[in-house]
Chains A and B, each alone.
Chain A
Amino acid sequence: MTALAQYAILLGLTLGTVAFVYAVYALARVIGRVQPEPGKDVPATAGTLSRDPVWVRYHAKYYGYALLFLAFDMEMAFMYPWAVVYREEGLVALLDMGVFLAILFLGLLYGWSQGALRRQ
């Protein structure tokens, strides 16, 4: 099977899943429609009608982690090809990646020391 055929299968799987879901929705629709009633379509908050919009500027307290994550995550892009040839390259690979990871870990340690790794 060529690579392109495999991607085609994956695309087909995606589309098939969507089709399946909509088929189920259609079946549910046949069973009955939603009876429109007051209060029913308001977000449920434990017995209170909560109508205030909640789409406001949200304070994510983990943004220190998020910033480090954005940069640190890129490391993975380099690690996968490295891992695949690791055994063939041997010690060179170990040292090379050791330096790379040490550099990144340094950044992590800096962030840690400055309080990026905490709830802000």
Chain B
Amino acid sequence: MELELLVALTIAAALFGVGLYGSLSQTNLVMIIMGVELILAAALINMVAFWRYLHPDVIAAQMFVLIIMAVMAVEMAVGFGIAIARFRSRGSVEMEEARELRG
């Protein structure tokens, strides 16, 4: 009877994989943020699934979900802020071109 839990976690794992692939393969800062969003979404599913199927009495799990959502929003705000700053100074948010800064 733990099929529901396994399905939910598998979906989360798949999203994690997709998010990981995306954040590594994309050249653009904004797209990398999207990959990270997917990874965090996978974490959200895990939290909710654990709460629902293992510990429905521990409401702190839901609290944790709220915190992850806040982290998603915060990450986006800061990420886009950096994107704007980088674009303003360099004319690009491509990561390839970001590396040039080192040289």
Contact = CB atoms under 8 A, between A and B. Distances in A.
Tell me if chains A and B make direct contact, with any CB pair below 8 A: yes
A67 B81 CA distance: 7
Given A77-B66, A78-B66, A71 B73 contact: yes
Contacts of A66: 80
Interface string A58-78: 000001001110110110011
Contacts, number: 24
Contacts of A73: 73
Interface residues of A, number: 10
B80 A70 contact: yes
Interface residues of B, number: 10
B90 to A, nearest CB: 15
A74 B74 CA distance: 9
Given A77-B66, A78-B66, A63 B73 contact: no
A71 B69 contact: no
B84 interface: yes
B31 interface: no
The 4 closest A-B pairs by CB, nearest first: A70-B77, A71-B77, A74-B73, A74-B70
